[in-house]
Amino acid sequence: MATVRARKDEPVESLLRRWKKKVEKEGIMEDLRRKDYYKKPSTLRREKQKEAEKKAAIQAKKMEKVLNKRDK
Distance CA 65, CA 17 (A): 43
Buried b (16+ CB within 10 A) or exposed e, 22-32: ebeeeeeeeee
Domain count, the chain: 2
pLDDT at 27: 92
Intervals of the chain under pLDDT 50: none
pLDDT at 69: 84
The verdict on residue 4 lying in a domain is no
pLDDT at 19: 93
Residues 53, 69, single domain; the answer is: yes
The verdict on residue 1 lying in a domain is no
pLDDT digits (tens, 9 = 90+) for 35-44: 888 889 999 9
Range of the domain at 62: 40-72
pLDDT at 11: 94
Report the predicted TM-score, pTM, of the whole model to 2 decimal places: 0.50
Distance CA 12, CA 19 (A): 10
The verdict on residue 3 lying in a domain is no
The verdict on residue 58 lying in a domain is yes
Residues 29, 44, single domain; the answer is: no
